[in-house]
Amino acid sequence: MSQPLQLLAFPLRGSQLIEASAGTGKTFTLALLYTRLILGHGDEKSAFLRPLTPREILVVTFTEAAAEELRDRIRSRLVEAAAYFRSQNAPQATSQDPLEQLKSSYPPELWAGCAWRLQLAAESMDEASISTIHSWCNRMLVEHAFDTRGLFNRELVTDTQELLTEVVQDYWRVHFYPLNTEQAALIQDSYSTPAALQKDLRGLLKTGIEGVSFQGQPLEGESLRSLLNKVLQEERKRQEKEAQAAQLEVNLRQAWLTDWPAIENYLHEIRPYLKTPAHDSKTPESYQALLDQIHSWAQGEGATPGKLKNFALGAFQFYAKSPVQEADPWRAFELQAEYNQLLEAAKKQPDTESEEPPFKTALLAHAHQWVETTFNQRLLQRAEMGFDDLLTQLEAALNPEKSTKSAQQLAKLLKNQFPVALIDEFQDTDPVQYRIFNHIYQLESDDQSTGIILIGDPKQAIYSFRGADIYTYLQAKQATQGRHFTLMRNFRSTQGVVEAANFLFGHAEQHPSGAFRFREGDYHPLPYIQVEAAGRDEQLYLDGQPANPLTFWQFAPEEGKEALGTGLYLQEAAASAASQLAFWLQAAQEGRAGFGHQGAITRSLQPSDIAILVRRGQEADAIRKELANRGLASVYLSDRSSVFATEEARDLLHWLEAVAQPGKERLVKAALATNTLDLPLSRLAAWQEQELAWEAQMETFMQLHQTWRYQGVLAMLRQLMDAYELPARRLQQNGGERSLTNLLHLAEWLQDASLQVDGEEALIRHLQEQLNTPDDQQLLRLESDARLIKVITIHKSKGLEYPLVVLPFISGWREIDGKTPQLPWRTAQGKYLEVSGKNHFPEAWKAAADERLSEDMRLLYVAITRARHALWLGVAPLKSGNSKSPQLERSALGYLLTGGARFADAQALDTCLRELSSQCPAISLEPAPAITSTRLNLQTSEVLEAARSPEQLPRLQPWWIGSYSAIRYQGMDWRLDEPLTAREATAQETTDEPREIPARPTQINADNLMQHFPAGSRYGTFLHSLMEWAAVHEYQEYRGFAAAAADTAGRLQAVTQRCQRLELEVYAEALSAWLGDFLKQPWSLEEPLVLAELSPEVISVEMEFLISCHHLNSRQLDELVTRTTLDGAPRPPAEDNLMNGLFKGFIDLVVLHQGRYYVVDWKSNRLGTDLEAYHPDQLSQAILKKRYDLQYVLYLLALHRHLKVRLVDYDYDRHLGGAIYVFMRGHAHPSQGLFHDKPPRELIETLDRLFSGQQKETQS
């Protein structure tokens, strides 16, 4: 019999069990008991032997979050208690405050000492032994490695799936590869792949599962060869019987045919004496029709007549008084009798064979035994352990049957280390965990030298799928018989909610099996004990009226029907609940719904006050869809899906493939067409029709490729999303926030993964592997913590509370039927997985269905007790399958109402609900809310203050980092985007060239290559990258251009790889030869230069520079350059623009040759269709048209400034050689496509002063 718990008189020695119903202050109680243990509080019956320190009190709970919360709550309680004792105020004798009462139990002269002890404990909480069971076991295995016979440095691995896969594959290789064809075929019939076998093994390898059982009997892992031989023998017997039957049928047909005329005449003679039903002998016509069927069958035509079996010797059915009582012994009749016997024996065969486990079941038992043993050995060899191993290894070390003397020694050590243990959420304990604590503290013995306090609520034991076992709780309850205590006051819910819950479960307690289905006669280990309500002052008002504490929403079946189908119930319940919530939140905006006192609303109802509890993801999807249709945002707090199973993960793979190979249009098109990118079809179509627009997309992916290479995959993905305005577009759509959260999650994962793999393709393969086998290590992240309606599973809601709780789908249930392949089955040896099937072992399936309903009752209790102010339950005369009448008794709600009795129809349910609601004022019955389409526009985030107006802001000077491309020219296209890399700068110079589809010429060589090579930014960037590769290549003793010229094979390989990315393979060989010639050919300058003769020490590739400029006018700059270069020839003038900040650029190549420094720039522009387009005069015109003159002047200015600080005796005239612009397509022209110019010294020095701000104006 349980007794109410008195906090200050509760015994802190021996073994005690505290049952804490929902909302009764379990954590508060635990913290105060902890405080008493620190003080050593109590009398000779209740106090522990001595005061304890935080490191001596073991507190165990079942999640890391709960452990942290407990630590904080206990620390706060210790600090608060210390303050009480530090105060000199005498406690009030009538105070109900437990801390006041605690203080009053000590004389004043001890208050200071108590305060000191409490404060010291609070400051030592970082050393407190408060953790999860797994963390504590891990710590004990390390601290007591000798006594647990473990390793000191075993690594804890959170995911052992990879190792399990490896072990299963090894099992497959070891046992199946040596088999012959006949044996292997048997295996294939059961498991076609190792993955299929691993899927069935996964449930067997959980903690607490001993193995496989068949018809209730545990199966030992029989020898595989023995299994195979047995099955093959049976198979051979079956084949022999089939052959025997087939031969007998052949003989039978032949016997009928051989004597057919005589048999037919004989059968007509005896027809008058035969019973009609067995032989169709009522009329000659019907009889002849049957004989014709027999004759056709004997000839091999048509199916076997159904009544042929009645024409066997001994099977003819004659009238009792007829002169003929037995047929003549024709050979056909004798063989038919034999054939009938054979068929009858075959029908009985399955019943005899069902006593033996099928081969697949026996194979599974064999595989489980080998895989489990090998898996544990591998973990030990790797010095690793999984979470389950933490428990099993410590339990084995403490088990006297397994470790004899060392077990007793270890238990004594742990008992001395932790004299008292407080086990929170004990109803979620599994058998292994219970045995650990029972080995240490011997619960049944009630050892007064130690203390163990078990705190939990068996009515909330809902985690059987995790291995938690309510029977373990009941075992502990039996071991602590006579030492049970109960918390009696509910501090969570209002008086009305507590009254409604008490009434409903009090009503269910009257059923023969009790509310939670554990009563058996006088034995009732799990009764419902009613609690008192501490009460809450705040009242909920809906539509201006006080809300009913508990409301049944009644759903009616369709017209003319008695029950509602599950699919329709799901739709109607979701739409109805969403409509009602929309109405309430609309009322809240109008001040008619919220919380307050005495009719006055002081706080409006918010979406975050509402929690919708569901059982599974399908229900969550349904209600969230309906909420979104009404403009109500929600968040699903229980999503256990892997981010790799999302559409965003699959689409991201397309993005990566396209960015990794940006020259392949097919991949870029696939990336742009993904649902996640969500580009309008009109835009995609326009890109296909407009060459320049499509070229810009290809260039974007080129730029993204460079970002990935130089800044990482995370930067690239963010750049891609910004480039296509993905966040702004998706956030306007339903599910957009979820989609963006998935993308950012995946981007972070890819960035981390990129540090572990080598290169872009390896990262893509790694992502592909994750997509193929998603695991639960990368679960979906919560997309928002804004004030949204919460959708959460009942399982995850345990321990939480919500102002309003809606249970629209609470009438549903999950059936355990013949489709369920495996079920837990308890035997004297432990828990097994029963695999024989419902037909062969219905007892297991019935027991599982009973346990399912019992756990559903506990789930219902958890759901109802989450509400603070009010809750709503959707009730329907629900049915499943083809049933016409309600089957609500299969659900927890149905059992609560009737105790398992079936409702005859919807009216019976209505009558029951009306009777219940009439007996309890806190319960009301209403029709399901009407479905409406009202759409709200709620403000779900905090209102921010308006930004200051521009007039209120301090005036800022414009400052930027710009480049040559930022200077705009009259009559020329210009772009806002600044190049981030040298390759982007190169691409910008050629994007205005028309895009070409690469031709497929038949005759290409180094001489005519550039006439055929396609133009456009992609191909220009390609040629630049080729020169960049040549400048840094290494081959044997050569480096740089010399290496590229000498390494013919390496050059061809590099060129081919780059050509493949742009689908230019046809040009690879000629391009490699052209490059070799280009590098070796002397340039026709005043001082001839050969690239292949330049050592790496005298060149600098892709040199980046930044030049500061102070309020420089671009038109003044342009006028100065125009006047002093190229004889003042006309060129497009620059627009007026003020430049202030840093001027940025990239120089393709800087060369030191014959004591002079040259700026070299590669130009891939196609100036014309023939070589004359590269005449020196034409080159000068191209320079002017593109304004490369200003570009190379700025490059030379940068080099001039650089050399001024690097060379002690620097002189412009002596050290600078000028700029060389190499138009690579003109290589075959006598000019070699070379343009060389050296601006006057005065220009460079004037520009130097202008950029420094020392010279404000130029002379006109």
- Which residues participate in catalysis according to the annotation? 1161
Per residue, the 3-state secondary structure of 126-154, as one string, reads: HHCEEEEHHHHHHHHHHHCHHHHCCCCCC
Could you tell me the two tokens for 1155? 């004591």
Tell me whether residue 1084 is annotated as binding.
no
Closest Cα to residue 377, out of 221, 220, 174, 167? 167
Helical segments of 418-545, H only: 431-441, 470-479, 495-509
Tokens 């954590």, located at residue: 27
Question: Please, where are the H alpha helices in 467-545?
Answer: 470-479, 495-509
- Biggest distance spanned by C-alpha atoms of the chain: 145
Return the amino acid letter for 461.
Answer: A
| Nearest partner of 486 among 21, 1122, 1075, judged by Cα | 21
Q: Quick one: which H or E segment has residue 1223?
A: strand 1216-1223
In sequence order, what E strands does 537-649 have? 539-542, 545-546, 550-554, 564-565, 594-597, 600-604, 610-614, 634-636
Consult the annotation and say whether 27 binds a ligand. yes
d(CA 95, CA 98): 8
Structure tokens at 57: 């009190």
Q: Would the annotation count 26 as a binding residue? A: yes
348 known ligand binder: no
d(CA 809, CA 863) in angstroms, rounded, equals: 12
Chain-centre distance of CA 897, in angstroms? 38
Give which of 1129, 1078, 1100, 1030 is closest to 1234, Cα–Cα. 1078
Cα distance between residue 1209 and residue 1086, in whole Å? 24
Beta strands at 532-533 and 823-827: parallel, antiparallel or unpaired: unpaired
Q: What is the dihedral sign for C-alpha 1046, 1050, 1053, 1059?
A: negative
Whether residue 785 is annotated as binding a ligand: the answer is no
- 439 marked among binding-site residues: no
| 8 Å CB contact between 699 and 1017 | yes
Residue 957: CB atoms within 10 Å: 7
Are the C-beta atoms of 878 and 810 separated by less than 8 Å?
no
In whole angstroms, what is the distance from residue 1242 CA to residue 1255 CA? Answer: 13
> Quick one: how far is CA 905 from the chain centroid?
43
The answer to whether the annotation marks 1148 as part of a ligand binding site is yes
Can you tell me whether residue 1176 is helix, strand or coil?
helix
24 labelled ligand-binding: yes
Query: Quick count: other Cβ atoms within 10 Å of Cβ 1115?
Result: 14
> What ranges make up the beta strands (E) of 808-913?
823-827, 830-834, 867-875, 878-879
d(CA 704, CA 93): 75
Distance CA 344, CA 1146 (A): 92
Rg (CA), the chain: 43
Contact 875, 501 (CB under 8 A): no
Residues of each annotated binding site: 20-27, 1024, 1148, 1161
Residues of each annotated binding site for Mg(2+): 1024, 1148, 1161
